[in-house]
Chains A and B, each alone.
Chain A
Amino acid sequence: MTIRQLSVFIENKTGHLNQILAVLARNNININALTVADSSDYGLIRMLVSNPEKAAEALRSEHFSVRIHEVLSIEMDAAPGSMSRIIDLLTAECISIEYVYAFSFGSKSILVIRTNNREKAIEVILANNLKPIHESDLKATV
């Protein structure tokens, strides 16, 4: 139901994103999803990677501020309105979203979500037979 996400602190400066990507490349870590949230001075990179522990350790040793967080992940139907439907179910329970992003993996459409009430969100997912994604679902098969 939850998967591990890597957050990295990054200053809004030319070349800084690539410094982080280069560390991951050197350590042979694959990135399945990446999103950047930004303010005027700095941002947060959020990533789903092939080996979060190894990635965090590699980045820390190169002096980046890193942390692993657990986030909810759900598979969506590859059809119009499927994401809206999931959000509707959460909204109906007064759960609000702190951040969200979506990506495709193989044939799967995947939603990653952080809410203000994880326990309640999990109840909604289970009660509505939504399909959770596990880290093992994101292992490359080819």
Chain B
Amino acid sequence: MIWNEKRECMSREEMRALQSERLIGLVHRVYNNVAFYRKKMDDMGVKPSDIHSIDDIVKLPFTYKTDLRDHYPFGLFAVPMKDIVRVHASSGTTGKPTTVGYTKNDIENWREVLARCLTMAGVSPDDVMQVSYGYGLFTGGLGVHYGAETVGCSVIPISGGNTRRQLQLMSDFGSTVLACTPSYALHLADALAEHGYSLADMKLKTGVFGAEPWTENMRLELEKKWGIKAYDIYGLSEIMGPGVANDCPFHTGLHISEDHFFPEIVHPDTKHPLPDGTEGELVFTTLTKEGIPLLRYNTRDLSTLNREKCDCGRTTVRMKKITSRSDDMLIIRGVNLFPSQIEHVLLEMGETSAHYMLYVDRDNNLDTLELQVEMDEGNLMETIRDLQMLSQKIQHALNSAIGLSVKVTLVEPKTITRSEGKAVRVVDNRKK
């Protein structure tokens, strides 16, 4: 089934006309209401009147995650706070979160695009959906929740964690759809037997998994382990949250709701637009967003675009499933993490050196983090207890800065490999 046939099956010409009209409106809004964009456009010598169609998007400035950070918390909002009805935030690069705001219309549009995504995954009002994404500042839980209600599912807002209860409610409530990160879905599958359940106790038939990059192989593994159909839902809080794109039963790329989120692919170094089919950085312009509209936001996710009509009947552009990024951002249990955040915490504490190596692993399908940090040559505690308190202190500081638990191991000075060129700060041993 297709949720919004009018929008999802438009001809190319109709879509371009709609996108052009929306882009022109967007450019006027940001130029008039966001000082940051007005200055950027003035510096580039571009006026809203220079934008006549969607093709003119290449004249507009890019936006990066650092721009959101530099204007923390509400500097890029295009409407007064009285029109903002919701704020979400994700961890930023130097301790400050990245903040996004939604107007009533934004929330309506979010529900709409999510309803399209869930319908694409075969979800219907007959379904009982267990939403095991975290609820709160993270967009995952509440985002999918609203979309599932819009479709008409019976929603179980269980949020993340507590494996035993997840399985108990899945069995007792007869959940038919599970929404969570793919790694947590694998973890739950592997925990079935341990908690006294088998697949026969479950009515699950669909998985809507996202918030971290995962491969086609992992999708097939999840389908086999659970006996379900697994779908990839894509999104990021800067653009909207989950619901920017989703794959249909043909799994030939994720359909982007391009009437709301206009995608481009650009070269990672030159930032020049690349033709369809060529891999590069995925860039989005939020055509309809009111709270925090963004021009050409560079996601740093690597993908390709395909504008051919899909066998499912939809004409919306498809993006290749994301499996890698062009920067060093890690996604740990759905949480974004930049190595620079760790460096920041260590430098701020100043009790060790700032030389560290982060080991990422997957234990029982849950991401684990171990931080090895070098002791300072001239700054040593007198007792083992003091050293243990130091590791705990680093652990707590990291936890409050990045919201993840990290095992901290103190190591001797100059034992972490120094690299000749770009510093290698992360060893990611998770299976690809």
Contacts and interface: CB of A to CB of B under 8 A. Distances in A.
Interface of A: 7-11, 16, 37-39, 41-44, 60, 63-67, 69, 98-99, 114
B52 interface: no
Nearest to A56: B378
A37 B388 CA distance: 13
A101 to B, nearest CB: 13
Interface stretch (B54-62, B165-173, B412-420): B412-420
Given A37-B384, A98-B385, 11 more contacts: A9-B375, A9-B410, A10-B412, A39-B384, A39-B388, A41-B409, A41-B410, A44-B387, A60-B378, A67-B378, A67-B380
B384 A65 contact: no
A65 B387 contact: no
B382 A63 contact: no
A60 B377 contact: yes
B379 interface: yes
B270 interface: no
Contacts of A65: 375-380, 412-413
A42 B410 contact: yes
B162 interface: no
Nearest to B409: A41
Tell me which of A10, A38, A41 has the highest count of chain B C-beta atoms within 10 A of its own C-beta: A41
Contacts of A69: 382
A96 to B, nearest CB: 12
B10 interface: no
B383 interface: yes
Closest 5 CB pairs of A and B: A63-B414, A65-B375, A67-B380, A63-B413, A60-B377
B410 A66 contact: no
A47 to B, nearest CB: 13
Contact of B379 (A8, A10, A63, A67): A67
Interface in B375-432: 375-385, 387-388, 409-415
B388 A98 contact: no
A67 B375 contact: no
A67 B382 contact: yes
Interface string B338-377: 0000000000000000000000000000000000000111
Contacts of B413: 63-65
A64 B377 CA distance: 6
Contacts of A42: 387, 409-411
B412 A64 contact: yes
Interface residues of B, number: 20
A64 B380 CA distance: 10
Contacts of B409: 41-42
A37 B386 CA distance: 12
Contacts of B385: 98
29 contacts: A9-B380, A9-B410, A9-B412, A10-B412, A11-B412, A16-B412, A37-B384, A38-B384, A39-B384, A39-B388, A41-B409, A42-B410, A43-B384, A44-B382, A44-B383, A44-B384, A63-B413, A63-B414, A64-B377, A64-B412, A65-B376, A65-B378, A65-B379, A66-B378, A66-B380, A67-B379, A67-B381, A69-B382, A114-B382
A42 B372 CA distance: 12
Nearest to B408: A41
A16 B415 CA distance: 11
Contacts of B380: 7-9, 44, 65-67
Contacts of A60: 377-378
A44 B378 CA distance: 14
A98 B383 contact: yes
A7 B382 contact: yes
Tell me which of B375, B381, B382, B384 has the highest count of chain A C-beta atoms within 10 A of its own C-beta: B382
B6 to A, nearest CB: 61
Contacts of A16: 412
Nearest to A19: B412
Contacts of B384: 37-39, 43-44
Nearest to A61: B377
Given A9-B375, A64-B377, A66-B380, A39 B387 contact: yes
Contacts of A98: 382-383, 385
A8 B378 CA distance: 10
A50 B366 CA distance: 51
A67 B410 CA distance: 16
A98 to B, nearest CB: 6
B382 to A, nearest CB: 5
A38 B383 CA distance: 10
Contacts of A39: 384, 387-388
B392 to A, nearest CB: 12
Contact of B415 (A7, A11, A66): A11
A41 to B, nearest CB: 5
A7 B414 CA distance: 18
Contacts of A44: 380, 382-384, 387
A140 to B, nearest CB: 27
A114 B383 CA distance: 10
A82 to B, nearest CB: 25
Nearest to B377: A60
Given A9-B412, A41-B410, A66 B383 contact: no
A11 B414 contact: no
A140 B409 CA distance: 39
